[in-house]
Amino acid sequence: MPVSKITSFAISGIDAFFVEVEVDTRKGIPGYTTVGLPDKAVSESKNRVTSALKNSGFEIPPKKITVNLAPADVRKQGSAFDFPIALGILASLNIIPPAALEGYSFAGELSLDGSLRSVAGALPMSMALKKSRIKRIMLPLVNSREAALLPEVEVFPVKNLLEACDHFLENKIISPLNNYQPKDDSSSYEPGIDFSEVKGQEFAKRAFEVAAAGGHNIILKGPPGAGKTMLSKRMVGILPPLSLDEALEVTKINSVRSTRKRGTMISRVRPFRAPHHTISDVALVGGGSFPKPGEVTLAHRGVLFLDEFPEFKRGVVEVMRQPLEDGYIRVARAQDRVTFPASFMLIAAMNPCPCGYKGSPGGECTCTPAKIAAYTSRISGPILDRIDMHIEMPPVRVSDLRNLAKGEPSAQIRERVIAARAIQEDRYDGLPGVYTNAHLTGRWIEKFCSPDAAGSLLLKRALDKYALSARGYSKILKLSRSIADLAGVENIRESDVAEALQYRIPIENRTRIRKEL
């Protein structure tokens, strides 16, 4: 009896790799065996596949059916092998010609009635095809538009198993969906989430604009009601829309995690993730027996907002050291080792003390010095050192709350940010991994972030007076570069350095700095 061979996919991390589905049908004691390190979902495909074949009108003779998923030393998971296994059985029995399946790849979950359900990872599968000799993929209808985002790949959308068989028997040919062009939704920001609604807090608004221009991380410290969460939710609205390449990156991640409704259009709006402080370290950075992306990866190219920062478990916060520094996270497990992208802007918010009212005229603080010290020490020095901007937010004044005048809208701020980002794009063209000022490292900081003589002198005085780490010094230079880019000037001036110092020096020293520098 012939052995049919079908090309399919498995997912590792956020990437797809090829799996060859081999099906052998022969005389013997009727049975169905799957080998090749299948997980529970793959092993259960036996019942879905046999029922789908029967309910689609195919009479499968009593045979000994063996399914092998190669390479056999890599564990396979998920239900996407249902469709290729069913076609492999039909090809092995010569119900459909095996030669007709050559040059195609397949993925899809079968319902018991033979219809196809969506699968995770359609875009990574299409990206894997882009680099291979096979350029055709047959997928469930709901996954087809996502896979067709790449013009190099022919995508054949199918609704059910019988429709696919008619295609290969040439009863009814399916037309490929080529180079699907999604609708641009770059202006589809959440209505009502606009900077014009924020009352007062002009210093913090300016800090957010600088952060958006250079891709810098921020920590906000202020009492309840100061507007920390309100401002943070509006950061996405002043960031530039995702480029097409960035949008494909984000869609690829969402495709694997299925965080968006499968089959929806690609989005140009940057992601905003705000996990609760009870989150585990695995949920934050990724992992599991078969590593899946965590929140830091789902926030890739966007914003990760951690409200009530000290309330996060110490170990959960500490695992962010690598992504904050490198823009990626490596996850090693017994079953697999993967690297997830994690280039995001961190916005962390915290109260000045456990009750939140230390130094606030709006309430009386009931915390002892020991409690305040224990609260603030929950965030380690290395983590704080990796955050570019330390912003203090005082309570909003009553006069600001009663002011009916609208503030500057997000669209106007976004225009300045886009202009600053365009300067950086031209400046760093050709530098691998450098997209904004925040990505600069080593000698590139020295080359692109050198202040003028007056700015250098001011920075030297600050370094002499305050214990700034080498990382802190570099971050001040990068902040100064972003401020200069917003102003549209080539050289970093003394005023740019002075403003950067206000954003970087620890909050408790800021009043003293304003007097002494």
Q: Please report the DSSP string for 22-39 in residue order.
A: EEEEESSS-EEEEESSB-
pLDDT in tens, 302-337: 999 999 999 999 999 999 999 998 899 998 876 678
pLDDT in tens, 38-68: 988 898 999 999 999 999 999 899 999 999 9
Please name the residues in contact with 284: beta carbons below 8 A apart, sequence gap of 6 or more: 275, 294, 295, 296, 316, 319, 320
Q: Check residues 468 and 166 and name the one with the higher pLDDT.
A: 166
3-class SS at 222?
Answer: coil
Edge-first strand listing for the sheet containing 154-158: 31-35, 64-70, 15-26, 3-12, 104-106, 136-140, 154-158, 177-178
What was the pLDDT predicted at 389? 95
Please name the residues in contact with 238: beta carbons below 8 A apart, sequence gap of 6 or more: 195, 208, 209, 212, 410, 413, 414, 417
CA angle 149, 76, 122 (to 5 degrees): 10
Which of 37-51, 281-295, 479-493, 499-513 reaches the highest mean pLDDT? Answer: 479-493
- Please say if the pLDDT value at position 123 is more than 90: yes
Distance CA 319, CA 277 (A): 14
Taking a C-beta distance cutoff of 8 angstroms, is the pair 147, 130 a contact? no
**What is the percent of the chain with per-residue pLDDT over 70, rounded to a whole number?**
92
Q: What mean pLDDT do residues 152-163 have?
A: 95
- Please say if the pLDDT value at position 217 is more than 80: yes
What was the pLDDT predicted at 100? 95
pLDDT in tens, 417-465: 999 999 999 999 989 889 899 999 888 998 999 999 999 999 988 888 8
Taking a C-beta distance cutoff of 8 angstroms, is the pair 136, 156 a contact? yes
**Left, alpha or beta for 300 (phi > 0: left; psi -120 to 50: alpha)?**
beta
Query: Could you tell me which CATH class the domain 187-239+270-406 is placed in?
Result: alpha beta
What was the pLDDT predicted at 177? 87
Taking a C-beta distance cutoff of 8 angstroms, is the pair 285, 332 a contact? no
What was the pLDDT predicted at 517? 47
Fold of 3-178: Ribosomal Protein S5; domain 2 (3.30.230)
pLDDT in tens, 66-89: 999 999 988 898 899 999 999 999
Q: What mean pLDDT do residues 259-284 have?
A: 81
What mean pLDDT value characterizes the chain?
89
What was the pLDDT predicted at 184? 57
What was the pLDDT predicted at 465? 81
Domain 440-517 has CATH 3.40.630: no
Nearest alpha carbon to residue 14 among 125, 111, 136: 125
3-class SS at 221?
Answer: strand
Separation in Å, CA 282 to CA 75, 207, 289, 292, 340: 21, 31, 11, 9, 13
For strands 64-70 and 31-35, give the pairing.
Answer: parallel
What was the pLDDT predicted at 357? 86
Please name the residues in contact with 477: beta carbons below 8 A apart, sequence gap of 6 or more: 445, 449, 450, 451, 459, 492, 500
3-class SS at 157?
Answer: strand
Q: Which helix (H) or strand (E) holds 315?
A: helix 314-318
3-class SS at 137?
Answer: strand
**Left, alpha or beta for 235 (phi > 0: left; psi -120 to 50: alpha)?**
alpha
Q: Which helix (H) or strand (E) holds 369?
A: helix 369-376
Which residue has 């495909």 as its token pair?
45
* pLDDT tier at 28, thresholds 50, 70, 90: confident
Taking a C-beta distance cutoff of 8 angstroms, is the pair 298, 257 a contact? yes
Q: Dihedral through CA 315, CA 320, CA 321, CA 324, nearest 10?
A: -160
What was the pLDDT predicted at 129? 95
Residue 347 CB-half CA count within 13 A: 26
Task: Judge whether 3-178 and 187-239+270-406 match in fold.
Answer: no
pLDDT in tens, 363-416: 788 899 999 999 988 999 899 999 999 999 988 887 777 777 788 999 999 999
Q: Check residues 126 and 468 and name the one with the higher pLDDT.
A: 126
What was the pLDDT predicted at 405? 75
Q: Which amino acid is at 388?
A: D
3-class SS at 328?
Answer: strand
Taking a C-beta distance cutoff of 8 angstroms, is the pair 369, 327 a contact? no
R_g of the chain, CA atoms, integer Å? 28
- Please say if the pLDDT value at position 506 is more than 60: no
Its pTM stands at 0.89
Taking a C-beta distance cutoff of 8 angstroms, is the pair 56, 86 a contact? no
What was the pLDDT predicted at 180? 66
Q: What are the extents of the domains in the chain? A: 3-178, 187-239+270-406, 440-517
